[in-house]
Every structure is written in C-alpha cells, then in structure tokens.
C-alpha cells in the first residue's frame, strides 16, 4: 500500500464531493434536521395527562384525594363533570386520557374504617401511555393509602405511628428521568450509521454505472487503497457531522456530558469508519446507485433504530432478536454514548464495546477489499 496512490484516491473523491453541492448540503444538513426532528418529536415522557373527574361525594375527603392528582405534574385536571357518561364520551373522542370516578360513599367508608372504592377509567388505545399512567396512579394511591392508614392508627391510639419502612430513592445518571437525555445520545449512533453508509453507498456503484470502474481496476491501484482512499475522503464530512451533532446535543438539547471528549472521539471514529466501509461494501456488491441506496437504508437505519437499544429495551425483545442484536454495531456505540454522556465512565468499563467496534471495522474493511479484488466479469 502506497501513500501516494491512497492520497490520490482520497483527493479525487474529495473533489467530487466539493463539485456536488447538493450531496454536500445533504451530508451536512440532514444530520441536523434529523436530530431536531427526532430530538423534539421522539419522546417517551408521559406527563400532564388530560384528566376529568366525577366527584359524587363532594366532601373534604374526596377533595383531598383530588388534590393529590392536581398537585402532581403527571396529571392535568381539565374539568369536573356531573355524570359518569360524560367521561366515557370524552374518552371515546380522545378528549381525555383518564377519568376518575369518586363514589357517593367515599368519605363514609373512610370514616367508618371500611374500604373505599375509586374508579379510574384509562384510555388504553395507546398501550404505552396507558401503562405509564397506570404506574403513576398506583404510586399516588399507594402513598395516599399509607397516609390514611397512618392517620387512622394515630386517631385510634392517640400516638403517632411511624412507617415500618421509609424508602430513600436516588436516581442515578438521569435524576429528572427525562427521556430526551438518553434518546438524543442514542440518536447520534442512528444518524451516523445512516449518514455514514449513505455517503459511501453510491460511490462504487456510481463508478460502475459511469463505466469508470473498469479503468480504475486496470490501474496499479490496489483494492485496499481504493477502499481506504474513498473512506478517508468521506470521513472528513463524517467528522464534521459528529462535531456538529455533539455540539447540538449539548447546547441545544442540554444533554449532560460527564465523560471524556477523547473517549467520545475515539468511539465515534471507530463507529464512523465501520459505517463508511459498510456503505462501500454495499456499493461494491450492488453496482447500482438505486439498489445501493435502498440496501444501505436496510442495513443501516432499521438495525440502528430498532435493535440498538436506544429506544426499545433489548431485554424486552424476544430471545432470538436479542441474540441477533449482538452483531449490530449501533448497539455497542449506544452503550458508549450513554456511558460517556450520562455516566462519565472510562475505557475500563467500555473496553468490550470499543473492541467490538474495532473488530467490526476491520472485518467490513477486509470483506470490502476481498469484494473489490474481483475484476470485471
């Protein structure tokens, strides 16, 4: 491998990029647009749930229960109704997600030491929102039940009875439980995989369609030099995308950054190299720009988005899918991104992920070189 031939290929590809302003604009602008769209639109936070209340009891006890929900940031009391059927109609037309029905004997049952029933009607058409809402409701009602039980014991004995167990909760790495704090770092992996593979997916295919690939293969240029030269040219754009995306994540989305910049740069570089070589491999196999574009989306976007674990927990997937995710490079880069951004861990914790990205980049490079060794049939 000679540096002169390698530099010549890289210079040729870089000049081609500069002479195609539309592709250059897409390579630099699309990541920013994707990050803004996904960062603001893709959220798993469920709060300010529209709620209607039917209070048939109208007592201080029922108003105290209502105050528990009104004081929570997870619920938004949109109004009070005089009929249970009104809540049903609101749920039917998506006017509310939750209805609370307090029966007439609510306070009577509480004061007599009995069990008071409260009905919660949840719109289950969105199962994710419904399950999260159910968790919020159970948390509030558990706290309220313990409070009422302690108050009843105090009233009967005249002594304050402390709770037998007092939990002390501490949420690490994402204390505010904002979904944006772990979605946006994961988006970096998805966007880089898409951009990296798309940038290079049509470079070899374009040579085949224009008829210049035969001339390239007839020169002393080695396949390894051809692959590395093209990768180096597009890596400059990839590095610019990485810097731009990271700055946007930190200063626009206010994502905490607790780790090492150099560790993030190393992980991003390895992942970007693997993504660029993936695009070159797809381009060499398909020999068609249209097929290369479609295939690169198939091997980059879908695995990175669905199987990397940045949105959907891998532990919740079926066992065969979990096994398959071990060959998805975005899975390991997402772990690196979350470790660097949110946890501030070092190479000692992320060594396996770095090793896999290195092996993946070398493997894809080797397969690409082997494919490029094949002369024109």
Choose the final residue of a domain: 157, 187, 217. Answer: 157
- Are 237 and 24 a contacting pair, CB within 8 Å? yes
Residue 113: the pLDDT is 72
Q: Is residue 172 part of a domain?
A: no
- Whether the pLDDT of residue 57 is over 60: the answer is yes
- Whether the pLDDT of residue 376 is over 60: the answer is no
Stretch 342-367: mean pLDDT = 92
pTM of the model: 0.78
121 & 206 share domain: no
Stretch 243-258: mean pLDDT = 88
The residues near 43 (Cβ < 8 Å, ≥ 6 apart) are 179, 180, 183
30 & 54 share domain: no
DSSP 150-214: HHHHHHHHSS----S--------S-TT--THHHHHHHHHHHHHHHHHHHHHHTHHHHHHHHT-HH
147 & 282 share domain: no
Q: Is residue 377 part of a domain?
A: no
- Whether the pLDDT of residue 375 is over 60: the answer is no
Q: Is residue 167 part of a domain?
A: no
Q: Is residue 363 part of a domain?
A: yes
What's the alpha-carbon Rg for the chain, to the nearest Å?
Answer: 29
Q: Is residue 59 part of a domain?
A: yes
38 & 66 share domain: no
194 & 275 share domain: yes
Q: Is residue 173 part of a domain?
A: no
Q: Which residues pair with 49 in a beta bridge?
A: 75
53 & 34 share domain: no
**At how many degrees (to 10) do helices 347-372 and 329-338 cross?**
150
Instruction: Say how many domains are in the chain.
Output: 2
Domain that holds residue 114: 49-157
Q: Is residue 169 part of a domain?
A: no
Q: Is residue 33 part of a domain?
A: yes
CB atoms within 10 A of CB 267: 25
240 & 152 share domain: no
The CATH code of the domain that includes 133 is 3.40.1710.10
84 & 33 share domain: no
Q: Dump pLDDT digits (tens) for 276-329.
A: 888 888 887 887 777 877 888 888 878 888 888 877 778 878 889 889 999 999
CB environment 211-242: b (16+ within 10 A), e (fewer) = eebeebbeeebbbbbbbbbbbbbbbebbeebb
Residue 194: the pLDDT is 81
- Whether the pLDDT of residue 93 is over 80: the answer is yes
Among 97, 109, 96, 95, residue whose Cα is nearest residue 65: 109
202 & 255 share domain: yes
């Amino acid at each position: 491998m000679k540096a002169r031939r390698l530099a010549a290929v890289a210079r040729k590809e870089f000049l081609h990029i500069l002479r195609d302003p539309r592709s250059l604009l897409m390579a630099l602008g699309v990541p920013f647009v994707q990050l803004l769209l996904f960062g603001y639109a893709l959220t798993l936070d469920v709060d300010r749930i529209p709620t209607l209340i039917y209070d048939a009891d109208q007592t201080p006890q029922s108003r105290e229960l209502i105050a528990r929900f009104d004081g929570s940031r997870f619920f938004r009391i949109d109004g009070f109704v005089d009929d249970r059927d009104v809540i049903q109609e609101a749920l039917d037309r998506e006017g509310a997600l939750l209805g609370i029905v307090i029966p007439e004997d609510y306070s009577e049952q509480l004061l007599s030491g009995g069990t008071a029933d409260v009905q919660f009607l949840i719109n289950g058409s969105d199962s994710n929102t419904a399950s999260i809402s159910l968790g919020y409701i159970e948390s509030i009602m558990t706290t309220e039940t313990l409070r009422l039980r302690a108050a009843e014991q105090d009233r009967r004995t005249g002594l304050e009875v402390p709770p037998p167990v007092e939990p002390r909760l501490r949420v690490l790495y994402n204390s505010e439980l904002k979904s944006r704090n772990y979605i946006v770092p994961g988006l970096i992996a998805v966007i880089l995989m898409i951009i990296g593979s798309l940038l290079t997916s049509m470079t070899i295919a374009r040579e085949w369609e224009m008829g210049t690939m035969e001339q390239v293969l007839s020169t002393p240029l080695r396949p390894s030099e051809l692959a590395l030269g093209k990768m180096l040219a597009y890596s400059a754009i990839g590095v610019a995308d990485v810097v731009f995306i990271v700055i946007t994540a930190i200063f626009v989305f206010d994502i905490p950054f607790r780790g090492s910049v150099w560790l993030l740069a190393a992980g991003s570089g390895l992942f970007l190299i693997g993504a660029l070589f993936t695009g070159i491999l797809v381009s060499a196999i398909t020999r068609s720009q249209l097929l290369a574009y479609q295939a690169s989306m198939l091997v980059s976007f879908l695995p990175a988005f669905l199987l990397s674990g940045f949105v959907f927990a891998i532990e919740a997937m079926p066992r065969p899918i979990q096994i398959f995710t071990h060959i998805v490079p975005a899975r390991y880069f997402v772990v690196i991104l979350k470790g660097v951004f949110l946890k501030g861990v070092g190479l000692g914790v992320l060594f396996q992920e770095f090793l896999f990205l290195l092996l993946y980049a070398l493997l894809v490079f080797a397969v690409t070189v082997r494919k490029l060794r094949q002369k024109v049939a």
